[in-house]
Amino acid sequence: MIEMTLGEIAAAVGGAVHGDPSSVVSGPVEFDSRNMVDGGLFIAFAGEHVDGHDFVESAIRAGATAVMTTRVMDVPGVVVRDPLAALGALAAAAIRRLPDVTTIGVTGSSGKTSTKDLLAQVLPALGRTIAPPGSYNNELGYPYTVLRADAETRFLVLEASARGIGHIRYLSEIAPPRIGVVLNVGSAHLGEFGSRAAIAQAKGELVEALPTDGVAVLNADDDAVLDMRSRTAARVVTTGESADADVGARDVQVDDLGRAAFSLLWRGDSAPVRLRLSGAHHVPNALSAAAVALECGLPLPDVAAALSAAVARSPWRMEVRERDDGVLVVNDAYNANPESMRAALKTLAGIGRDRHGRTFALLGHMAELGADSVAEHDALGRLAVRLDISRLIAIGDVARPIALGAALEGSWNGEASWAADADAALQMVRRDLRPGDVVLVKASRAARLERLAQAVLEDGSSTRPRGER
């Protein structure tokens, strides 16, 4: 964070100073005392199970200059009524002092984290780039990331999520983007929004926030995204495999680990890209990242080279590892929605075909689908049949319709089963798995199936990452 005095911080957030108002905060803002460093500001959030006020002394011992709390503590600080609102206000004040930073917002029903990870590896060729760690994309993570920027920062990449109308508008008011990327409109959080049209309305708030000299990067292969052209005053740049996309991909091919190679097209020129990320669904993410980098001034060959060198940075997203016995495990357990589930299953099927091995899909539930939950899970099981997945195990009560849908689809030589929990699924897999098989583990975050993927890996004496070319 840029240097600010306690007095300036208090003025920005509408709080009251406790201590010397001229004390300077020179380090980052943290809400976990274990991450505190010298000169930083510790914000105490009172959660359902943990109260940050109990860790104020630990934060000071770790080097915090001051704290932000809801009550006076016996240390220097700023007292506020609502720490979360204060965090947003502080981020807004800080970014206003950095007029030379290009702020880039990324949203979409899926692919946000992968795309911001690509941007975090492409844009540094042009200057210091700040991007969120993991999926820091809500009213806490968004301003937290903004406050990582300082006077040396040239690009600030922000991931914006929404669970309702107005959420992205609020985030964009904290740090207004100059470049806005909308990846897709899918079914994630459908139960909360009620319709795909409402999801599109929420995602489009990002491009509505762009200035007239800004740039909206829109996926031309998604009609709901392309329709957002009418909602922005910014210049529109389209991406996709459609012939009229401004930044396009041609001749997409996928190797035996599901990694895509393609020709990146822009203004009549082309450059080869060979992604290290598994899954053809990363192609549109890469195109969006390319469009941003090109708009920021990176030459096309350099964009293609940076995309080809980029690796998966956030855990449990199509993370591919191989056991000593040749079993390949694809850990995509960070989160799930119907679109990402379908993409993962198609990648699994493709890898299995290329490796001539059996394919195992260990699938937990997809959360927040509302009234569409049973139908979407059922459809997923039927897709597994059509993709000729060798073995399907649905895990947990909510995921049971996956197994039922597969069983009802018919004309399948594979086997669909249901397991009450991850431990039961692991026992099933252990009985059937043999060298050369490919295992996909995927579910929504609440299922915590990354532990299952790790257990399958640990059944091999050692493992090694796959994906290096």
- The most distant pair of C-alpha atoms in the chain lies apart, rounded to whole Å, by 75
| pLDDT greater than 90 at residue 158 | yes
What values do phi and psi take at 451, rounded to 5? -70, -35
| pLDDT greater than 90 at residue 135 | no
pLDDT, tens only, 163-198: 899 999 999 999 999 999 999 998 877 778 889 999
Instruction: Kindly report the average pLDDT of the chain as a whole number.
Output: 94
Give the span between the Cα atoms of 253 and 402, in whole angstroms. Answer: 30
Give the span between the Cα atoms of 443 and 331, in whole angstroms. Answer: 10
Give the span between the Cα atoms of 394 and 391, in whole angstroms. Answer: 10
Token representation of residue 452? 């299952």
Cα Rg of the chain, angstroms: 23
Q: What percent of the chain has pLDDT over 70?
A: 97
User: What is the per-residue DSSP string for 293-351?
Assistant: HHHTT--HHHHHHHHHH----STTSSEEEEETTS-EEEEE-S---HHHHHHHHHHHHHH
CA-wise closest residue to 153 among 114, 217, 99, 117: 99
Could you tell me the CA-to-CA distances from 134 to 89, 282, 325, 396 in Å, in that order? 23, 17, 31, 26
Residue 49: predicted pLDDT: 87
Give the span between the Cα atoms of 400 and 67, in whole angstroms. Answer: 47
Residue 48: predicted pLDDT: 82
Neighbours of 124 (CB within 10 A): 14
Please, where are the H alpha helices in 45-101?
56-61, 83-96
Could you tell me the CA-to-CA distances from 305 to 141, 240, 297 in Å, in that order? 30, 19, 15
Tell me if residue 54 falls in helix, strand or coil. helix
Q: Is 377 within 8 Å of 360 (Cβ atoms)?
A: no
pLDDT, tens only, 354-412: 989 999 999 999 999 999 999 999 999 999 999 999 999 999 999 999 999 999 987 56
Residue 415: predicted pLDDT: 86
Average pLDDT over residues 145-160: 97
Strands 77-79 and 16-18: antiparallel
Average pLDDT over residues 280-294: 97
Q: How many CA atoms does the CB half-sphere of 287 hold within 13 Å?
A: 34
Positive or negative torsion for Cα 141, 146, 152, 154: positive
Residue 464: predicted pLDDT: 55
Does residue 280 come out as left (phi exceeding 0), alpha (psi in the -120 to 50 range) or beta?
A: alpha
Split at pLDDT 50, 70, 90, the class of 154 is very high
Q: What percent of the chain has pLDDT over 90?
A: 89
User: What is the per-residue DSSP string for 97-163?
Assistant: T-TT-EEEEEE-SS-HHHHHHHHHHHGGGTS-EE--SSS--STTHHHHHHTT--TT--EEEEE---S
DSSP 82: -
Tell me if residue 3 falls in helix, strand or coil. coil
Q: Is 72 within 8 Å of 55 (Cβ atoms)?
A: no
Average pLDDT over residues 127-153: 95
Tell me if residue 7 falls in helix, strand or coil. helix
Strands 102-107 and 179-182: parallel
CA-wise closest residue to 188 among 345, 344, 337: 337
DSSP 415: E
Q: Is 361 within 8 Å of 434 (Cβ atoms)?
A: no
- Show the domains of the chain with their CATH numbers: 4-81 (3.40.1390.10), 98-309 (3.40.1190.10), 319-465 (3.90.190.20)
| pLDDT greater than 90 at residue 314 | no
pLDDT, tens only, 68-103: 999 999 999 999 999 999 999 999 999 999 999 999
Average pLDDT over residues 446-454: 95
- Facing residues of 68 across strands? 43, 78
Residue 235: predicted pLDDT: 98
pLDDT, tens only, 9-59: 999 999 999 999 999 999 999 999 999 999 999 999 998 889 999 999 999
Q: How far apart are the first and last CA of the chain?
A: 38
| pLDDT greater than 70 at residue 343 | yes
Average pLDDT over residues 340-345: 96
Residue 411: predicted pLDDT: 54
Neighbours of 271 (CB within 10 A): 18
